[in-house]
Amino acid sequence: MNSNTILINAISQERRVAYLESGTLAEYYSERQDEHTVVGNIYKGKVVRVLPGMQAAFVDIGLDKAAFLYAADAMKQTSVRDEEDGGRESNDLPLDMPSIGELVKPGQELIVQIKKAPVGTKGARITTHITLPGRFLVLMPETTHVGVSRRIADDAERQRLRTLLEEVKGEDQVGLIARTVAEGVSREKLSAEIKMLKTMWESISQKAFYAPAPSCIHEDLDLVLRAVRDILDDNVNQVIVDNPIECERIEHFVEMIAPAKLKAVKYYSEIMPLFDRYGVENEIERAMDHKVWLKSGGYIVIDPTEALTVIDVNSGKFVGHSSLEQTITQINVEAAKEIALQLRLRNIGGIVIIDFIDMEEEYNKERVLVVLEEALKRDRSRSYVVGMTELGLVQLTRKRYQEPLGTAATEPCPHCLGTGRVKTITTIVHEVFRSVQRYLLSADCSAILVNVNPAVADYLYEQEEEAVGILEEMTGTEIIFVAREGYHEERFDIVGTPKRSED
């Protein structure tokens, strides 16, 4: 059994949760107290626009941007996949699925739940298929399906849970999914949680009846309690918290949902910051890097784009000890494990394309794919490896529940505007020179001061002295370049000194 740890840093206004698997950072989440995530929240919304060409509709739920509702998330479900631990996905859509215009109308009020948070310019993605996750179960009030988490592998236990849930729910027209931590749980505990979740849904339904649209009618747990609810299992032997008040709140919560794990909750009172003590800060910084080094000396480069994420594998400093094929395969195997970890750690979702180093042997290609798939099984978000293309590219998809780490913790550079590249000194110098020319055409000055970055000033005086002299002679204006410390390379200002009028 693994020895895993949940670290909770809750001293400042930002709450941070780190999940360590055998001492290695595997998952990381952060949330400001005044910026709770909206995923899982339930709203009463109003349809503002129907888009038949996209089989979707925009719904006003009270957020800054209208939420996006696909037809598949608006139609009534008769069955769901039971693979998802804590949620569910639509089955393959029927060919005769009705159009979005038949499912919703402008002005119609809907009860919806956010399944994907707003990202960048995109609004939240919502669904009418409500799910209420508990400790052991997920209640689905809109269907009667009963399922079991895909992470429970034992066939006898899966059958026990299915039978038990069918019996416990009885004639109630609700759906249930047994979560991973439900493995081995008694009938009494499951029955008590079903009762609690049904009571919660009745309260939400009553509130929705009277609430105006748009409005929020149910908020999911905050990050800290949500992490404890979703991550704490038999493999976790410690929950370490650095805030005494937050530690007490977590203890009360654990006592309600998992009293046997109460002794695992511990208060951290040392002077050294909690995340520093366990080496988490360095791992978070590493997860923000464009390049991730492997222990062998190879490295991977992670490039997120608007549509997908591209990951390139490189040999770097690793030269191997035997044949080239074996060296390449060894790097690719190590990279496959690291890529699976980085997808979890960075919260990368959607389409991912991996460019492994080319291998000749089919056996080695299959080996790398197997290692990647096995590593992804430890991920709580569902992934699907499509396979390797003729060009040697591996395609996979990973379900996204929240903003990627890089998006949430950074913003576009004000100088490169998110391109990741800035202009060379030579390019900037030529832009400055042309701007001076244009300025002199419209201004009658005896002299002009051009404030520039020191490196740009040096280049102008050393490399463009002759051109500046010619321009001064042509215009009768003295041009003075002033080096300004603190100026970005691309910043410059032109200030003119008007000629004195003759009496």
Which phi and psi (to 5°) does residue 264 adopt? -75, -20
Rounded CA-CA distance 194/137 in Å is 8
CATH classification of 4-34+224-280 is 3.30.420.60, yes or no?
yes
* Three-class DSSP category at 331: helix
pLDDT tops 50 at residue 89:
no
Cβ atoms of 65 and 124 within 8 Å: the answer is yes
pLDDT tens digit sequence for 356-405: 999 888 899 999 999 999 999 888 888 899 888 877 799 999 987 666 77
The number of residues in the chain equals 503
Averaged pLDDT score across all residues of the chain:
86
- What residue spans in the chain does CATH classification 2.40.50.140 cover? 42-219
Q: Which of 36, 27, 9 is nearest to 287 (CA)?
A: 27
- What residue spans in the chain does CATH classification 3.40.1260.20 cover? 425-498
pLDDT tens digit sequence for 205-238: 999 999 999 999 998 888 899 999 989 988 899 9
Rounded CA-CA distance 75/60 in Å is 18
Check residues 170 and 281 and name the one with the higher pLDDT. 281
Which of 29-43, 68-82, 462-476 is predicted with the least confidence, judged by mean pLDDT?
68-82
Element of type H or E holding 44: strand 42-51
Predicted local confidence at residue 493, as pLDDT = 93
Rounded CA-CA distance 396/142 in Å is 31
The CATH homologous superfamily for domain 425-498 is: Ribonuclease E, catalytic domain (3.40.1260.20)
Query: What's the rounded mean pLDDT across residues 456-483?
Result: 88
Taking CA atoms, 209 is separated from 67, 72, 99, 109, 130, in Å, by 21, 24, 27, 11, 16
Which phi and psi (to 5°) does residue 344 adopt? -65, -50
Predicted local confidence at residue 90, as pLDDT = 44
- The percent of the chain in helix, strand and coil, each rounded to the nearest 5, is 35, 25, 40
Predicted local confidence at residue 217, as pLDDT = 94
Cβ atoms of 155 and 149 within 8 Å: the answer is no
- What residue spans in the chain does CATH classification 3.30.420.60 cover? 4-34+224-280
Predicted local confidence at residue 406, as pLDDT = 64
Q: What is the DSSP letter of 116?
A: E
Predicted local confidence at residue 95, as pLDDT = 54
Cis peptide before 259 (omega within 30 of 0): no
Contacts 24+ apart (CB under 8 A), 314-317: 314/357, 315/357
Say which residues have a Cβ less than 8 Å from residue 29's Cβ, sequence separation at least 6: 16, 17, 223, 227, 347, 402
- Structural class in CATH, domain 42-219: mainly beta
pLDDT tops 60 at residue 78:
no
Cβ atoms of 367 and 332 within 8 Å: the answer is no
Cβ atoms of 80 and 140 within 8 Å: the answer is yes
Query: What's the rounded mean pLDDT across residues 479-486?
Result: 91
Cβ atoms of 113 and 42 within 8 Å: the answer is yes
